[in-house]
Structure 1
Amino acid sequence: MKQKVAVLGPGSWGTALAQVLAENGHEVRIWGHNKAQIDEINTQHTNHHYLPDLVIPETIQGKMSLEECIVDADAVLFVVPTKAIRTVAQEFTEKCKNQPLIIHASKGLEQGSHKRISEVLLEEIPSEKRRGVVVLSGPSHAEEVAVHDITTITAASEDLEAAIYVQRLFMNDYFRIYTNDDVIGVETGAALKNIIALGAGAIHGLGFGDDAKAAIMTRGLAEISRLGVAMGANPLTFIGLSGVGDLIVTCTSVHSRNWRAGNLLGKGHSLDEVLENMGMIVEGVSTTKAAYELSQQLNVDMPITEAIYKVLYEGQDVKQAAKEIMLRDGKMENEFSV
């Protein structure tokens, strides 16, 4: 059945997901603040800054007005940076006149509160203006989805019917969706893998090889699992698509902004230089701070996250941080501690 879907956020992932929806026959509108970008989407059917090689389906309508974008929408998909989620949710609540399903495909933890994105959405959007909240997450690069590479991700919600609705909305012959009821685990895995990707990139930038890459990914997954379980997640989620799957793709690909940022840090660039060079949001930087603070609050051992925090926020040398992790006291592997 054809649905009306509003996509909030015309970045690379928002654009790629809008394309999937349009190709599935849905009516798609995409909202953003940048007039030149929205005009480009409407007139040239491209979004060169984010996906330079993609020709966007002509049926996708770009909107500068949030109210025009969400009017009569069956579903509203949030794909804005984590730091903008609360503000955009507040504007949505002010202008929404119906009760769409809320979906989000952003990955991070809110600064200060350390809240997951669905928690922020539930706080800011009253029940009369939402049918439910579904998290869309997993191993995916916008650049690959845009060219129809095979991709599998997860739709997570405490309401299974809502998750199934999202599954049907997006699924086709190159984009497969699995459902999950562990919202905490899916969101935690999505957010924290960006921290480990920074570390994996830094390891590469320092000149270390595959052994080191395997070490940081494996022990990074242990950290993600520890914090996630402490927050109430199902540990099995972390061996699924939004856990180890998302970790693999983010830690091993040049498409990953977090990996590229870490790689530059490992090569000796300052954080300011790295962020200026990237020209896009690197979610792992802010997530590192939130996760480090949360681990201290919950008394969860996260030495890799702590080391990356020290590099990003205390100016520690990357190579020294790696050495300090290696010189920690010996542990049993099944203690879930580095």
Structure 2
Amino acid sequence: MNIKTDRIGIIGSGSWATAISKMLLENVGQINWFFRKTETIDTFRETGYNPRYLQSVEFNVEQINFFNNVDTLVDNSDIIVLAVPSAFLPEILGGLKTDLSSKYFLSGIKGIVTNDNLLVVEYLKNYFNVPYENVGVIAGPSHAEEVALEKLSYLTVASIEETKATNFAKLIQSEYIYTSISDDIWGTEYTSVMKNIIAIGAGIAHGLRYGDNFQAVLVSNAIHEIKRFVDTVHPITRDIKDSAYLGDLLVTVYSQFSRNRLLGTLIGRGYSVRNAFLDMNMVAEGYYASRSIHEINKQYNVSLPICEAVYRILYENIPSKKEIAQLALKMN
């Protein structure tokens, strides 16, 4: 991998894709970027910013090759960065005619492919024969909004091959992005999935007017819950207190930018799930992840009281006030 000359394609046009594109252009001269709508591309070319997300981020459009066909973007890219909601990934990649098996992938997706309850690395391997060693995973803690403001952020890039993890990390590091590497692609991906579910739970508690004291206990229990699950599903040596795990959980639970926390807050205030989504006009990955983790855990039977409480509120219509009160009795 030559990180200065490899052709890099971005699939995704939301806030995180925009933030990743900003990070990449600190290190490479040009990127390929996929947008569904030609009118969005036209407006971007005219204004120099993404018209729908992070409009404060100004781009030199001469550094961007715009595409509205995924096959064409993939043909013209050696490294492909995925930054779309996980629920939409099969729709976007499902019709591809291009062979992906020799491509490198960097996943910024913090969710699970819900059709088959697969992590992104598993989905790429199972459906497109992409070797695990050709995939890197971007783990937090960070929010796109703070990257846009160039506030100091720390990211972990996970890949099972150290050299590739290092090369992927060099693509996104800068004066305001510090990076570290990991070989734990399964643990970092599952943490990214589960912390969104936990954030919904924290938001529900906030909407129900539980205070900071309860939230602290919720989070301290949550990191143990995540550890139990990832250690069961992929048992390797890992320090759950590292920023890729605990840090990612904390920023998602507490940040004003967390859409999963916002979804939970609205539900705690009495919104239905449908009305909460309509009010937000954004995708909250934790909603889909909740059902996926519930289904996956049928195989492992790990104790996940917080995730299960959120699942029952979201999918079984159990009143949030009743469910959180029951959850409170199980924590210490």
Report if the CA contact (8 A) 1:83-1:111 is conserved: yes
- Return the alpha-carbon distance in structure 2 between the equivalents of residues 9 and 127 of structure 1: 19
Note the 1:1-338 alignment, pairs <5 A: 1-58=4-61, 59-92=63-96, 94-96=97-99, 99-127=102-130, 132-234=134-236, 236-328=238-330
Distance change >3 Å, CA 296–CA 171, structure 1 → 2:
same
Displacement of 1:111 in angstroms is: 2.0
Return the letter of the residue paired with 1:146: A
Displacement of 1:96 in angstroms is: 4.8
Distance change >3 Å, CA 311–CA 98, structure 1 → 2:
closer
Instruction: Tell which deviates more after alignment, 8-17 or 293-302.
Output: 293-302
Q: Map Cα deviations across residues 294-324 of structure 1 (whole Å, 9 max, x no partner).
A: 2232111111111111110111111111111
Q: Map Cα deviations across residues 111-152 of structure 1 (whole Å, 9 max, x no partner).
A: 253221100011222359x97111111111111111211111
Is the partner of 1:220 in helix, strand or coil? helix
Displacement of 1:23 in angstroms is: 2.3
- Return the alpha-carbon distance in structure 1 between the equivalents of residues 270 and 23 of structure 2: 39
Is the partner of 2:240 in helix, strand or coil? helix
Is the partner of 1:228 in helix, strand or coil? helix
Displacement of 1:89 in angstroms is: 3.5
Is the partner of 1:239 in helix, strand or coil? coil
Is the partner of 2:8 in helix, strand or coil? strand
Report if the CA contact (8 A) 2:103-2:130 is conserved: no
Report if the CA contact (8 A) 2:133-2:160 is conserved: no
Instruction: Tell which deviates more after alignment, 19-28 or 234-243.
Output: 234-243
RMSD over aligned CA atoms reads: 2.0
Gaps of 5+ in 2: none
- Return the alpha-carbon distance in structure 1 between the equivalents of residues 112 and 69 of structure 2: 27
Distance change >3 Å, CA 233–CA 250, structure 1 → 2:
farther
- Return the alpha-carbon distance in structure 1 between the equivalents of residues 211 and 60 of structure 2: 41
Q: Map Cα deviations across residues 269-311 of structure 1 (whole Å, 9 max, x no partner).
A: 1100111111121100010111112223211111111111111
- Return the alpha-carbon distance in structure 2 between the equivalents of residues 317 and 70 of structure 1: 46
Aligned length: 328
Instruction: Tell which deviates more after alignment, 282-291 or 212-221.
Output: 212-221
Displacement of 1:98 in angstroms is: 8.8
Report if the CA contact (8 A) 1:89-1:121 is conserved: no
Is the partner of 2:25 in helix, strand or coil? helix
Return the letter of the residue paired with 2:26: E
- Return the alpha-carbon distance in structure 2 between the equivalents of residues 278 and 162 of structure 1: 37
Is the partner of 1:238 in helix, strand or coil? coil
Report if the CA contact (8 A) 1:100-1:131 is conserved: no
- Return the alpha-carbon distance in structure 2 between the equivalents of residues 36 and 274 of structure 1: 28
Displacement of 1:233 in angstroms is: 4.2
Report if the CA contact (8 A) 1:19-1:57 is conserved: no
Displacement of 1:48 in angstroms is: 3.3
Q: Normalising to structure 1: TM-score of the pair?
A: 0.91
Report if the CA contact (8 A) 1:18-1:60 is conserved: no
Distance change >3 Å, CA 232–CA 319, structure 1 → 2:
same
Higher RCO (C-alpha 8 Å, min separation 6): 2
- Return the alpha-carbon distance in structure 2 between the equivalents of residues 65 and 235 of structure 1: 41
- Return the alpha-carbon distance in structure 1 between the equivalents of residues 101 and 235 of structure 2: 32
- Return the alpha-carbon distance in structure 1 between the equivalents of residues 81 and 143 of structure 2: 17
Report if the CA contact (8 A) 2:101-2:128 is conserved: no
Q: Map Cα deviations across residues 134-178 of structure 1 (whole Å, 9 max, x no partner).
A: 111111111111121111111111121211110111111111221
- Return the alpha-carbon distance in structure 2 between the equivalents of residues 169 and 98 of structure 1: 21
- Return the alpha-carbon distance in structure 1 between the equivalents of residues 115 and 217 of structure 2: 30
